[in-house]
Amino acid sequence: MTCFIGMPKGLTIGSYRRILVLLYKLSSQSTKMSAEATTFVVDVSPSMESDGYLSKVIAYLEYTLLDKCKRGRKTDWISCYLANCRYSKNSQSISNVYEAQEFVAPVTSTETLRIVKYLQSYGEETSGGKPIADGDERVNTESVESMVQCLLVSSLDMKEKFKTRKMLRQTVVFTTDVNGLDLNDEEIDVLREEFNSRLILIDCREKTTTNSKDNDIEDSRWGHLVKAIPGSMIFHINDLLEEIALPKPTVVKPVRIFAGELRLGADVTAIVPSSDTKDLSSADDPHCLCIRVEGYPATKRVSTLNRKLVFKDEQNGLKQCEPVKSVIEYEVQDDKADKRFTVAQQSIAKAYRYGSDYVVLPSTLDELRYYRTSPGIDIRGFLDRARLPRYMLNSESRFILPDTRCGSAADMATFSALVDTMLEHDKICIVRYVAKRDSEVEMCMLCPLIMQDENDEKVRTLILNRLPFAEDERVASFPRLTNRTTTSGKKIEDNQESENSKIDALISDYIDSLDMDSPVKHETNPDTHYYLPLGKTTKDTTLPLPGDDDETILLKGNDPFRVPAIHLHRQKQVLLEWIHQKLVIGSEELQIPEMPDVLREKIQPHYNNKRNDTGMAELVKLLNIKQTEKKFLADDEQFDQQDETTENIPSLESILALGER
C-alpha cells in the first residue's frame, strides 16, 4: 500500500501528470544519438590561404574527425568538399569543386589523415606538394566562384546516398567571403527547396566584435540563406577553436540504475529478513510510509584512458599493432619430483585459511556467507544540513525520483511533500541503501533539491551519496553526526562541548581565510552550478559546437568545488598532439605542448588578501599571544661568545687519537 498524505501547496493533479510525463521522457530517452550525415565544405579561395584562415579550419577539422574516430559510430557519416578549388573532381563534373572525401562511416584514422594532409598540402606553391589523384583536373584560374555549385553538388550526393532515410543532415561551410553568394531572393528560395540539410555557417574572418553573429552577416546573402533554411546556425571560427579547447565533461546518461521503495518508519523485520521471525511486508506495516522511487546517475566518476596489450608487428616498413589474448594457467609444485604440473581450472577452488591449514566450505555452508538483501531505501533519521561536512560524501551522486513506471500520483505527492518539508526545515536524511538484490548495504545521505527543467517546470528530487565506512575511517577522521548527551540524557550543545570552542571557531575562520582557491561567486541559484537539465546539455549532433553562454561561463569558471580531471584532459591533449606531430606532420621527435590556459587557471593558486582583523585580534587575546622582543648583544659580548664556542671544539689530532685507542 502506498500512503498518500496530500498535495503540497500550489500543486494540482494536472501539474503532477505533467511532471510524470517529463520524468517518463527523462527515463525513456535513448542514450544513443540518431544517425547523422555531415558534409564539410571548405572555401579554399586565395583569401583563405593567404591570410592563414585555412590553418584554423584544419585544426578544427582534425579535432572533430579524430573525435569521430574515437566514437566509432557506424551511423555517423561524413564527407568533405573544397569550393573555389584549383582542381575539379565530383560526381556532377562541375568545375572548381573538389570532392576530397565521399561519404564514409564509421570514420577511421585513414580518412582523417587523408583529409587533413590534403588541406595542408593544398596551400603549398610547389606542384609536387599537391596530391593530385587519378581523374583530377587542374584549372588554371586564379579567381573562381563555385560555392553555390558546391552546395548543390553536396546536396545531390547526400540525396543519392541516403535517399529517404531518416537522419540528421547538416552541411558545415567554412568561408571568409560573406558576400560570396550571388543570389537574389528567388534563387535563395530555389536553393532552399533543393537543399535537404540544415546549414551551419562558420565565419573565418577576423573577429571585430564580441558577438559572433555580426550585423553584416545577418544582412548578407549568407544570412538570408541561413534564415531561410530551418535549424541553420552561424558561428565564428574562434568560438569553435575555443570550444574544442575547453575541458568539457561528458553528459551523464539517464540510465535507470535503481528501482525500489523509500520507506520511513519501517519495521526492522521488513528491512532485515530473518528465518526465525515471520517477515512483515512494508506495504502491510501501518506505521510505515512507503514511496515507490527510482534512481538515475547525477555525477559519474571519470575513468582513465583505455589501454590494451598489443603486439607490434613491423612488416614492409609498416608498424601495425595486433591485439593479443591472455591465457591463465594454474600450476602446482611437486616438492618430491621437483617439477611443476599444470592443473585444470575445474580443480581450482577458493579456500579459507584456518590456522596452518586451508578449508574449503561445502556448498551448503557457502550459501550462508551471503547477506540476503532486497533493493530499497530506509530512512533511519534526519540531520541538520549544516552538521554534515562536504568531505563526508564518499561516492558518486544519484538522483532519487518518484517511480514513473510502477508509481502513482500518490507516490508523486508524498515524495514532493517530503522534499518540501526537508527544504523548509533545512534537513537531510540518513538512510540505509541497498542498490539491488543481495548487494551490500550502504549508509547514505539524501539531500533535497528542486530544479527547473528546460520547460521551467519544477522537478523535486533527492540526491543520494554514500557516507564513510570503516575503510574510510582508517585513513581519515570524521566528526560525529549524532548529538552528544550527558549521563542524564541532557543534550550537549556545540558551544558547550569544550571551553575552547570559541578559539576553535576563530582558528577555523583564520585557516579558511588562507585559502588559495579562487573566490566562489554566490549566485541566486547555486544548484545550477552542479546540475543542468538534460535538454540543455544534450545536443542533436556530435559536432563540437559552442553552447549557450551559461554553459561556457561554468566551464571557464574556477569554482574549487567543481574542478575537472586535469590529468585526463592533459593526457587527451598530449595524445592529440602526438597524432598531429607524428602522423600528420611526420615529425621524428615529439614536442610536448604547454598546458592550456583554461586548465592552468583551474589549478593555479590565487592570493587572498582578505583578513578579518577583528577576529585575529580576538584570537590573539584569547590565546594570550605576545610578541617577544629580539635580544641584541653588544659587540664585545658577541666576540666573547664566539671565542668560547671555538675553544670547546676539539682538534682533529685529538679525534684521530681517540680512534686509535
Q: Which CATH architecture has domain 36-245?
A: 3-Layer(aba) Sandwich (3.40)
The CATH classification number of 254-481 equals: 2.40.290.10
- Report whether pLDDT(19) > 80: no
Of 28-42, 61-75, 135-149, the least confident: 135-149
**Residue, of 244 and 452, whose pLDDT is higher:** 244
Relative to beta strand 310-315, strand 441-452 is unpaired
Domain spans of the chain, in order of start? 36-245, 254-481
pLDDT, tens digit (0-9, with 9 covering 90-100), for 566-593? 888 888 888 999 888 888 888 888 888 8
**Residue, of 195 and 280, whose pLDDT is higher:** 195
Most confident of 15-24, 199-208, 357-366, 407-416: 407-416
- DSSP alpha helix (H) spans, 208-272: 215-218, 221-228, 237-245, 268-271
Whether the domain at 36-245 and the domain at 254-481 fall into the same CATH topology: no
Task: Answer yes or no: are the C-beta atoms of 87 and 137 closer than 8 Å.
Answer: yes
pLDDT band at 295 (very low <50, low <70, confident <90, very high): very high
pTM above 0.85, yes or no: no
Please state the rounded mean pLDDT for residues 602-612.
72
Q: Is 493 helix (H, G, I), strand (E, B) or coil?
A: coil
Task: Answer yes or no: are the C-beta atoms of 416 and 6 closer than 8 Å.
Answer: no
User: Which residues, including other chains, have CB under 8 Å from residue 196's CB and lie 6 or more apart?
Assistant: 155, 158, 159, 169
pLDDT band at 215 (very low <50, low <70, confident <90, very high): low
Residue 487: left (phi > 0), alpha (psi -120 to 50), or beta? Answer: alpha
pLDDT, tens digit (0-9, with 9 covering 90-100), for 34-53? 789 999 999 888 888 777 78
**Residue, of 31 and 497, whose pLDDT is higher:** 497
pLDDT, tens digit (0-9, with 9 covering 90-100), for 268-281? 666 666 555 455 56
Task: Answer yes or no: are the C-beta atoms of 542 and 36 closer than 8 Å.
Answer: yes
Distance CA 174, CA 236 (A): 9
Q: Which residue has the cell 584570537?
A: 619
pLDDT of residue 15: 41
Phi, psi of 63 (to 5 degrees): -65, -45
pLDDT of residue 635: 59
- Report whether pLDDT(131) > 50: no
pLDDT, tens digit (0-9, with 9 covering 90-100), for 446-461? 999 988 777 778 889 9
pLDDT of residue 163: 87
Distance CA 474, CA 480 (A): 15
Of 251-260, 433-442, 495-504, the least confident: 495-504
pLDDT band at 526 (very low <50, low <70, confident <90, very high): low
pLDDT of residue 211: 53
Q: Which residue has the cell 587557471?
A: 601
Averaged pLDDT of the chain: 78
Task: Answer yes or no: are the C-beta atoms of 172 and 233 closer than 8 Å.
Answer: no
Task: Answer yes or no: are the C-beta atoms of 176 and 51 closer than 8 Å.
Answer: yes
Task: Answer yes or no: are the C-beta atoms of 292 and 1 closer than 8 Å.
Answer: no
Q: How many residues does the chain have?
A: 661
Q: Using CB atoms within 10 Å of the CB of residue 39, give its burial: 0 to 12 exposed, 13 to 18 middle, 19+ buried.
A: buried
Task: Answer yes or no: are the C-beta atoms of 166 and 75 closer than 8 Å.
Answer: no
pLDDT of residue 2: 34
- Report whether pLDDT(179) > 60: yes
Written as one string, the DSSP assignment of 505-565 is: HHHHHHHHHT--SPPPP--S-GGGGT---HHHH--SSSS-----HHHHHHHH---TTS---
Smallest Cα–Cα separation from 545: which of 225, 242, 257?
A: 242
Q: Interhelix angle for 185-194 vs 221-228, to 10°?
A: 40
Q: Which residue has the cell 515507490?
A: 292
